Structures are given as structure tokens and as C-alpha cells.
Chains A and B, each alone.
Chain A
Amino acid sequence: EDQVTQSPEALRLQEGESSSLNCSYTVSGLRGLFWYRQDPGKGPEFLFTLYSAGEEKEKERLKATLTKKESFLHITAPKPEDSATYLCAVSATGNQFYFGTGTSLTVIP
């Protein structure tokens, strides 16, 4: 069964304290892995897409990496404005697109 699991469910960091969020997946025929940011009451905002193991993408304080079984979203020296829910999603064979349940990140000043 196709599945996307994110951990931890919630993460509290001090400003400047780097950490990583995890997204593990079991899908048949992975076509791509995607990271989104979602602020409360708003729609998800696209961050990155990764297509093959070993690929890395960076944007400001965020860096996404991909292996054959999981992806990590590394947050370096986070700021309070990075507080949000980070969603991972995978695109699989048959045009199916699965979201994980997200990691709620809180960065404390």
C-alpha cells in the first residue's frame, strides 16, 4: 500500500537551532517527491521537487534531500517566520499524489 509518513508530528526549536524533518515513503513507481509549506488557514505553498535519489535543492534556510526511501528537509538557523506546517507529498504511477500529515514547526525567538 502506498504510504507517506512524516516525523516528527511537531517540532519546537529555538531561533538559530538547526534541525531536520523526515519524510519516508513506500510507493510503487515514484515519479517525484515534493515539499510544501502551509501556514494556518492558508493553502500549501510549493517549496521543492526532487526526482531522483541523491538530488538536493536549497532555498534560503531550507535544504531538501532525497534517498530511495526517504527525504529530509533540513532547516539551518531557523527564524520565527519559518514557523509553519511542512508537508511532504509524492507522485506515483497512475497520477496518484499523496500527502503526508505534516510536521508542525514552531521556532521560538
Chain B
Amino acid sequence: DSGVTQTPKHLITATGQRVTLRCSPRSGDLSVYWYQQSLDQGLQFLIQYYNGEERAKGNILERFSAQQFPDLHSELNLSSLELGDSALYFCASSPRDRWPAFFGQGTRLTVV
């Protein structure tokens, strides 16, 4: 158990809908990272937050947004969902602003 908690574990929704994925980092970790993993693309970096501030941005679509709250948990919002958004979404945390040390178990999103 990495100490990073992601909810829900599975999510099935229809195209055009909006969903929110939640991540609770390890106790004391200030950095939260979000990744998308699909079969054909591997792990794609979406966005990183450090102590509530956006720190780095990867290939995150405009339909996606994220935030980190004062209690350090983070949410990834995905809107206007398309079939191609079906993937595993991972959250990772780390104590500092260096690299994603601890990954959660992921949220499997299926868009139908």
C-alpha cells in the first residue's frame, strides 16, 4: 500500500458527461501528480500541484482541469467526455517538488 488513495476505483459514464476523480496523497506529501495511462500511449503526464499551486503542466486537454485543496487532496475534473478518454488515471504524490514517488491504484474510467 503506497498510502495514496484514489476514488472511485472504477467509473463508467456516457459521452458528453463530466466526472471528478479524487486523490488523497500520502500524509505530509505536498506534491500531487496526475497521469493518464492508455494501452497505446503509456503513462502521459497531465499536471502537477505543489502545496496548492500548479507546478507543471503536461499534455492536459482543455476539457480537463484539476486543483489541489488546502488539505492537499486533489481532484481531476474531466468534462465533455469522449470515447478516447477511456483510460486508467493515476495520481501520485511526493514529499517535495521533485518526482512522483508514490502512486495510487488508479481510477479506471470507461466512457460508453
Name A's B-contacting residues (CB within 8 A).
32, 34, 36, 41-46, 49, 87, 89, 91, 94-102
B10-48 with Cβ < 8 A to chain A: 33, 35, 42-45, 48
Chain B hits for A89, CB < 8 A: 43, 99
| Total contacting residues, chain B, CB less than 8 A | 24
Prevailing SS type, chain B contact patch: strand
Report chain B residues within 8 Å CB of A42.
Answer: 105-106
**What are the residues of chain A within 8 A of B65 when measuring CB–CB?**
none
Residues of B near any A CB (own CB < 8 A): 2, 4, 33, 35, 42-45, 48, 55-56, 58, 90, 92, 97-106
Instruction: Give the chain B neighbours of A94 by CB distance below 8 A.
Output: 56
5 pairs, CB–CB < 8 Å, chain A vs chain B:
A45-B103, A49-B99, A97-B45, A97-B58, A98-B45
Q: Which residues of A contact B92 (CB under 8 A)?
A: 43-44
With A43-B92, A98-B45, A99-B42 as contacts: A91 and B58 at CB distance below 8 Å: no
Chain B residues within an 8 Å CB radius of A101: 42
Contacts of B33 in A (CB 8 A): 97
Residues of B contacting A36 with CB < 8 Å? 103
Which 9 pairs of residues, A with B, have the shortest CB-CB distance? A43-B103, A95-B56, A99-B43, A101-B42, A44-B103, A43-B90, A46-B101, A91-B99, A43-B104
Contact B98 A43 (CB under 8 A): no
Contact residues in B for A41 (Cβ distance below 8 Å): 106
